[in-house]
Amino acid sequence: MTSTIAHNLVHIDGSFCEGGGQILRNAVALSALLSKPISIPNVRHNRKPPGLRKQHEAGIILAAAICSAETEGVHLSSTSVTFKPGKIELPKILTADPGTAGSTTLLLQVSLPCLLFSSSPTSPSQLTLHGGTNAIQAPQIDYTQHVFLPFMKRHFGLDIALNIIRRGYFPKGGGAVFCSIPSLTEALPPVTLTERGPVHLIRGEARVGGLPFIIAERIKNAACATLIAAAVSPTIIRIDAVRETQEEAFGSGGGILLFAETDNGCVIGGSSVSTKSRDPEEIGKEAAEELLRNLRHDGCVDEHLQDQIIIFIALAKGRSTIKTGPLTDHTITAIKIAEQMTGATFHLQQNPSGFVIISCDGIGYTPSP
């Protein structure tokens, strides 16, 4: 038994392309879902320091709990991980806590694909995630709520409930998020998304916890000024400033999410997280510039959504075609892992003006009875 499993291990180079935590998240999620044992050397090779951090350890442990996996090397600073999945038995009530400001949204990334497919379509899985809700180097929970989940509902019909129990800001964390994830019995449909349409509204929230309200106002005003300076009409800008109570947030911090809504139903985001070393005006300006950059290339998804949806179109049934901006290293990595683990075929058509057409012939994955 052991020798057979070792022989069938899929070996994934942890130093490929972005060489960070995304390789772990996508490979482990697909390993659990497809019952393919994996070995990942050179874990987070391109990060300083390399190896597992608490957040990655918590994510692998969560995935292992979902599929009763055997693991090796899942500890702080480890540079080699083996993950041997068992059977996914759902629904489940699960909790994950890295004990740090590690991102709750990245914990959701590793667990969501596994939890979507179940032999029990009547009961959703319940997932409580602790850590940072508005952390650096990760999507803010607001992005998941206002950009990622609406995409999943509009294009895949997935009604994933998300409730922010308490926000946890960088660097302390301490946040908590509850998710209710439905079970699927059929393959995901393909996605065709090649015409963005004109922007009719830009919404957003600049928010702080444990800081004066004026900080949120300054972030908001800087974002508005940057958008208007780029010839965005003030009549379509709707950005709020919010200060959370002590019960609503742990520690002090802040950030901003902006998202543009188009006539064809696309949602394009731009965001930034506050740190002590940066002025509020810099935070607001950075989020607005990111949004404007993503709008210029005329893609139907932004630079953060493009890599998050790769795993789902690889699992979908039929050909998906999506227009994006220039591919990020995260997206290139996600495509490589999806091809290696699922056998899905991707085709990339790069236009000189900067946009890319991603086509994927998905495998039509359905859960085992």
- Binding site residues, as ranges? 109, 304-308
* Distance separating alpha carbons of residues 167 and 130, to the nearest angstrom: 9
pLDDT digits 0-9 by tens, 44-95: 988 989 999 999 999 999 999 999 999 999 999 999 999 999 988 766 789 9
Contact yes or no for 268/291 (Cβ under 8 A)? yes
- Binding site residues for ATP, as ranges? 109, 304-308
* Distance separating alpha carbons of residues 290 and 140, to the nearest angstrom: 14
pLDDT at site 60: 95
pLDDT at site 121: 62
* Residue where the block lists tokens 């208007």: 228
Q: What is the mean pLDDT of residues 35-49?
A: 92
State the catalytic residue, choosing from 11, 146, 330, 347. 330
pLDDT digits 0-9 by tens, 143-170: 999 999 999 999 999 999 999 999 998 7
Count of CA atoms in the C-beta half-sphere (13 A) of 222:
22
* Distance separating alpha carbons of residues 322 and 25, to the nearest angstrom: 22
* Distance separating alpha carbons of residues 207 and 170, to the nearest angstrom: 13
* Distance separating alpha carbons of residues 98 and 53, to the nearest angstrom: 9
| pTM of the full structure | 0.94
Count of CA atoms in the C-beta half-sphere (13 A) of 17:
16
Q: Characterize the bridge pairing of strands 161-168 and 175-181.
A: antiparallel
pLDDT tier at 341, thresholds 50, 70, 90: very high
pLDDT at site 345: 97
Q: Is 330 a catalytic residue?
A: yes
Q: Characterize the bridge pairing of strands 237-244 and 192-193.
A: unpaired
